[in-house]
Amino acid sequence: MSPVSREITLTNNETLSASDAVIEPADTTQPGYRKALFALGMGGFAIGTGEFVIMGLLPDAAKGLGISIPNAGHLISVYALGVVIGAPLLAVLGARLPRRNFLMLLMALFSLGNLVSSYAPTFYTMAMARFMAGFPHGAFFGVAALVAASLVERHRRTQAVSMVLLGLTIATLLGVPIVAGIGQWFGWRSAFAIVGGLGVLTMLLVYLWVPYQPGDKSASPLRELSAFKRKQVLLTLGIGAIGSGGLFSVFSYVKPTMLELAHLPETMIPIVLAMFGVGMITGNLVGAKLGDKAMEQTIRRVLIWAAIIMALFVVTAHNPWLGPVNVMLVGTVVALSAVLQTRLMDVAGDAQTLAAAMNHSAFNIANALGAWLGGVTISAGLGWQSTGWVGALLAIAGLAIHAWAMADMRHKSH
């Protein structure tokens, strides 16, 4: 735990800086926190499966809806748009609700959106259903992160938040490949019915295992919206929205890229998706541990790493062995999520609910931006591998925003 920045007054009128004293963190972990984290992680698993499974079924969805694959990619962007709009709106409206009840309500909306997606007959109705499913996404993760952080000691916050996100990353390893495989056998629409069922299961687990926490009765829309007046909040959101775009640029088109360039058989695609999931789990866990020790250094190093592996994808996408390995390494960029979530807690002041929810709006702006820019470069004839260049440039831009945030902090400290 970092030393508390205050002075301790001694009886002889001397002062001792707290940095000279050894202060052990008190163990404030709440009993039953593991079950609570599991329930919250199940929500992450349901949402992660629902968000990413369409990427593995994109050609099937395009054929079923009678549209091109790049146009089907707009369904990814529509979902992300739902997250971007829903996160701040629902966070502001629900800040005063008991957090357990709020989480159950959000998961009910998510389940409904996916169940509607399972039978939406046209592209436009499907787009509306995907928007509905994405609407509670950011608010759920934001509130779940606040609950998770409140269950453990302060110096373990990032790791607790990462347990919520672990459900999302496990979804990419198990949920997405399994549900995508079921979708290929029984029709791509069946995948969304399964996701809806996972949402209902999450509601039950949250009710049973997440401790009751009263809402913030002093919260108000104006107080929550004050987060947007904080420069560090906006810069942190910018790092996630821009720097993580490459992750989604590559992954949104991973199936056609591996089929067309690496010439992998379609039966290998679930394995590639599972490798991406392994990368996400590794990045999430390692990034959280490093983030609790050195937050700003971790953010900077992950962005540099992202720029390198995205650029390498331009070359390795043509290789049936190196391409899947690089896809796995691209997944490790998710390490940014938990670290940025904790950074937002530190800079958001008393507008915690909105700031926490907006972290996932930022990542879904990255989702929409990455998928859109990747589609633009592909449609322009630059090839499926061009998504790697998009990712590298976005990572470099995220690194520049982080440098701006650090310069602003140094200026204020002076």
In the predicted model, is pLDDT for residue 141 greater than 50? Answer: yes
How much is the pLDDT for 23? 33
Between residues 30 and 35, the one the model is more confident about:
35
Residue 392 host element (H or E): helix 386-413
Q: What angle do CA 179, 314, 68 make, to 5 degrees?
A: 50
DSSP assignment of 174-241 equals IIHHHHHHHHHHH-TTHHHHHHHHHHHHHHHHHHHHSPP----TT--HHHHHGGGG-HHHHHHHHHHH
> Which domains, ranges and CATH numbers included, belong to the chain?
31-413 (1.20.1250.20)
Cα of first residue to Cα of last residue in the chain, in angstroms, is 24
Burial of 2 (0-12, 13-18, 19+ CB in 10 A): exposed
What confidence tens digit (pLDDT) does each residue in 365-407 have?
888 899 889 999 999 999 999 999 999 999 999 999 999 999 9
pLDDT at 77 over 90: no
Q: Are 317 and 263 in contact (CB under 8 A)?
A: no
60 — pLDDT class (breaks 50, 70, 90) = confident
Q: In this structure, which amino acid lies at residue 198?
A: L
Q: What is the pTM of this model?
A: 0.79
Q: Per the structure block, which two tokens stand in for 44?
A: 């992450």
Identity of the residue numbered 46: A
What is the arithmetic mean of pLDDT over 140-158?
90
pLDDT of 26 over the 50 cut: no
Distance of CA 234 to the CA centre of its chain: 17
Separation CA 85–CA 79 (nearest Å): 10
Most confident of 50-54, 245-249, 323-327, 351-355: 323-327
pLDDT band at 17 (very low <50, low <70, confident <90, very high): very low
User: Average pLDDT for residues 45-68, to the nearest whole number?
Assistant: 85
